[in-house]
Structure 1
Amino acid sequence: MKKIILKTAGLVLFIGLLTISSCGSTKEALAISDVEKKAFEQKKGDTIAIANEEAEYEIIIIEPGFDFWLKSVAKPKNYYSQSYLENRNRIYVTNWNQRVLQPQRYGANLYELQIDYDPNIDYGYEVNYKLYNYFIYFQRKYNQRLGPFFPRI
């Protein structure tokens, strides 16, 4: 199984080879709920793992609060189509990788390693769903923007 290691401020993310504009206002799109604040304040590391055995890809996310956030704040599975997730992940991965190459500008602690995400490979729904939601979690928790749209729930 192929793996890449990503670390960001207490996070270790192992990834196997791995526009719709906002309808609301900026404040509304970025508003952090009490439940989300609770997830962001957690100190104990969660571990989320999902693998696509057929494609031999795996994603493992170790980040305090992410599992809680995924279960309590994120949209449920099948809310988004796989093509939506793939399109957003392509944008997020591209911007992530550009930031890895500019550590003085974006902070080496947040963006340490590149993600090898090939849009021509079908990683499956689970891998795309968890990767997408990690990007939303990351952007909201660390006040980052990895695309032209606001990271909203």
Structure 2
Amino acid sequence: MLDLRDVTLVGESIGGVLALTVASALPDRVKAVVASNPYDYDRRYADGVRRGNVFANIAIGSYAIPIFGAINAALENRLFLGWVLRGGFYDKRNLPRDLLAEFDRVGRRRGFRYVERKTFAGWRSWNKARALYKNVKAPVTFVYGDHDWSKPA
């Protein structure tokens, strides 16, 4: 076990929630937290991603349906992924092709789709994480952009 102290935690999206909840659980070990667009606002399964566009809403929403969702997730391809991800961009041209290719490659790893669906399935706990933030003793920097999709739709 590592005996880490004076740690700075940095996370984006769900990682921002994780950084904040870890800092709340281990306040004497964390010296600072940077949370970029923490994903703690869902009102339904995969809400943040689904707000990107109509296609993302239907496709990603289907992942919550038993059996059918697993099949849809397994059928995901680079074209589909690009449509979904571009929904989160203010300027749709700003999704680099090499980044999309990397996301596609990683998404094809064995077990990835299962983990992805299970992560989305935990959405109800993300809102509850906010109650833990008051226990964070370290300085916290929240980072949001002018056009973040975490802003109310």
Q: TM-score, normalised by structure 1?
A: 0.26
Question: Higher helix proportion, which one?
Answer: 2
| Structure with greater Cα Rg | 2
